[in-house]
A and B are shown apart, each in its own frame.
Chain A
Amino acid sequence: MALSIRKQEKEEKRSVGKNIGIDLGTANILVYVEGEGIITNEPSVIAFDYETNEVIASGSMAANMIGKGHHGIKIISPLNQGVISDIEATKKLIEISLHKIENINIDIKESTLLLCCPSEVTQLERDSFMALGNKLGVKEVFIEQEVKAGAIGSGLDIFSSNGSMLIDIGGGSTDIGVLSLGDIVVSESNRIAGNYFDNEIMNYLQYKHGLLIGKKTAERIKMEIGSLRKEIKDPRETWASGRDVVTGLPKKITITESEIRDVLVKPFESISTMVLKVLQNTPPELSSDIIVNGIYISGGGALIDGIDEFLHERIGMDFHISKRPLTAVVDGTKLLLKNRGSYFVKPTD
């Protein structure tokens, strides 16, 4: 029914091609449309009906269903570890996002589409992004690395010869890049990111407290009391409820900040090792820029309390958290759409 209403609207709206930037993250999908701003900022989750294959819900509505659906509903996260795992579902998700704008109807076939991907994906994975663009019927698709977009979105001037460094901790992948003169000089990417932290929290609760919890609860715990501070001043705590492994009965327990801190320290150790690896491969002239400018952190992971302190202690540089860590990448697409990702053209001019 919802679809038929949309169809009616379609005829009333005028159809235009637009510049569209999409940050297709494992955790969240953000869509920027030229002249409209960021139109979608929601979890990249979509729910289908098993039998009819019709879309029941998408975004946060679908995310709320995670771990709660019955056999009639199929809940899909179309991206896994930073790359597309279900291309049909991804396509649906983007289409739904684009239909959200009132007044105008975006003719996606006439639009220019910019998709952001992790910096170290294989050619096959890259091709799948291209294939997605083609499936949507877009004539012009181009793919840019998330670090690049993230750095621009964090307000770094990557088009000057002054080197900058960004750590983007997203849902599915953590990307680290050194940028100068409009492109990436050194980059590194791995799949230790938001979802991985959630899994670690789930594992911890299962083994330490004998409690099985869902992904959503794990994520909530991370967001509420996730911390990396060495000395926690006034410890926060939260509750976690799930199923007892032994008795099989529902159970609710209290978890403290320091527990979660100990869980998170390990994956962040490997992120700091990765930062070191990138720094080791950085040409000395850029190293000297980085020591002056510091390193910026964006992505959802940047919101974990004390992350800058933690990394500063391990590595010794200055770490800054980008102003809008969650929308940095999509903000960056705004500018990249103007110069089409060419490092020659400074989009701000």
Chain B
Amino acid sequence: MGKEMSAVIANDRLGLGIDLGTANLLVFLEKKGIIFDEPSVIAFDRESGKIVAAGEDAHKMLGKVHSKISVVKPLRNGVISDMRAAKALLSYVLGKVENLTEKDISKTTCVICCPSEVTKIERDVMTDLATKMNITDVFIEEEIKSGALGAGVDIFKSKGVMVVDIGGGTTDVGVISFGDIVLSRTIRKAGSFMDDEISKFVKKTQSVEIGELTSEKMKIELGDLHAEAKNVVNRYAGRDMVKGIPKWVMLSTTEVQSVLIPVFEEIVKLIMGVLKDTPPELSADIYKNGILLTGGCSMIRGIEEYVQKRIQVPVKVVHNPLTCVAEGTKYLLKNRGDYLVNPLQL
């Protein structure tokens, strides 16, 4: 067991952990920590193909560009949809790291995290991405596993842990025990889906068209699942669909809640489905230890209370919902995802 590990260390290979999410890209580099934590968006110049901006800067451009720039989100629903853009984004991120030559990059051991229920082809695309960057040593791991590790949970014990990762493109529910996933389910409804639903709602009720950035802002500012949430009304701007001129929209917490609840209802259904199929011994563990929530959408207010009320199992949001997956890669790089090796004890 130690052979492979020691080989990794002896080669002095740098470990590279990539959480390639639909909404955010996080890159963990050994000895440096998390070197990039920004939206996975990249903007190209249409004519020359040069990168204009990436990450946060490119995210601000969404829906605002002129015909000379194309803004691309390389991932859709948790999987790579634009290979060229994904590669460009990753090269851009790694290019920014000081003292990291291309040769160093090709020598790294790379772990890429993906949702648990993606097809073989979609997984291969992730490997391809690393190969395209000239990284030969690459392996794919599930986001929930990495997320649990990153949140500081020892998944290598004979103790069942349930992780619910509500990210940008996918919601992933899994039960982990003895260092690997026992069962898991994924639906492609998460943060971006909620944004779309909010924008559809505004379109339907107020006939105002809003952009991606605005609907995301609405979700972050007004999203609240508390049964008796304080009603806050905020003002946003969009384009009137009838007249075509800019118009203010008033949106309240209650309205956003009414949009979000059906989505969370589906997530609850998914959790219940997984719980139903969980072996009884693990069910007992989960009942005792509770469910862990990770991912950006677990930052919506009142989510713990809401899920707990529906499932009657204690629910806890991890302390670092946005970065836990990337932090977890630190451990996965040590044991290469081998469930027999407990990296927490290395």
Contacts and interface: CB of A to CB of B under 8 A. Distances in A.
A280 interface: yes
B172 to A, nearest CB: 30
A253 interface: no
Interface in B53-81: 57, 60-69
Interface stretch (B177-185, B231-239, B300-308): B231-239
A59 B45 CA distance: 42
A183 B68 CA distance: 8
Given A276-B245, A279-B244, A284-B209, A181 B65 contact: yes
Interface residues of B, number: 29
Contact of B238 (A161, A180, A287): A287
B61 A161 contact: yes
B61 to A, nearest CB: 5
Contacts of B26: none
Interface in A197-221: none
A323 B167 CA distance: 47
B154 to A, nearest CB: 44
Interface string B278-307: 000000000000000000000000000000
A284 B214 contact: yes
Interface of B (DSSP majority class): mixed
**Interface size class of chain A, counting residues whose CB lies under 8 Å from the partner chain:** 20 to 34
Interface string A206-243: 00000000000000000000000000000000000000
Contact of B246 (A161, A184, A291, A343): A291
Nearest to B214: A288
Nearest to A182: B66
A185 B66 CA distance: 4
A343 B66 contact: yes
A31 B215 CA distance: 46
Given A287-B246, A290-B246, A317-B245, A279 B64 contact: no
A311 to B, nearest CB: 12
B144 to A, nearest CB: 33
B68 A343 contact: yes
Nearest to A281: B244
Contact of A280 (B45, B69, B244): B244
A137 interface: no
A285 B212 CA distance: 8
A286 B64 contact: yes
A297 B209 CA distance: 26
Interface in A272-310: 276-277, 279-292
A161 B52 CA distance: 12
Nearest to A183: B66
Contacts of B245: 276, 279-280, 287, 315-317
Contacts of A279: 239, 244-246
A121 to B, nearest CB: 17
B243 A283 contact: no
Nearest to B48: A344
Contacts of A82: none
Contact of A185 (B52, B65, B211, B248): B65
30 contacts: A161-B61, A163-B64, A180-B66, A181-B61, A181-B66, A183-B68, A183-B69, A185-B64, A185-B67, A276-B243, A276-B244, A280-B243, A283-B64, A284-B238, A285-B62, A285-B64, A285-B210, A285-B211, A285-B212, A285-B213, A285-B214, A286-B63, A286-B64, A287-B239, A287-B245, A288-B239, A290-B246, A291-B246, A343-B66, A343-B68
Given A285-B63, A343-B66, 20 more contacts: A161-B61, A180-B65, A279-B244, A279-B246, A280-B245, A282-B239, A284-B210, A284-B238, A285-B213, A285-B214, A286-B211, A287-B239, A287-B246, A288-B237, A289-B64, A289-B237, A290-B246, A291-B237, A291-B247, A317-B245
Query: Closest 6 interchain pairs by CB?
Result: A280-B244, A285-B211, A288-B237, A285-B63, A291-B246, A287-B239
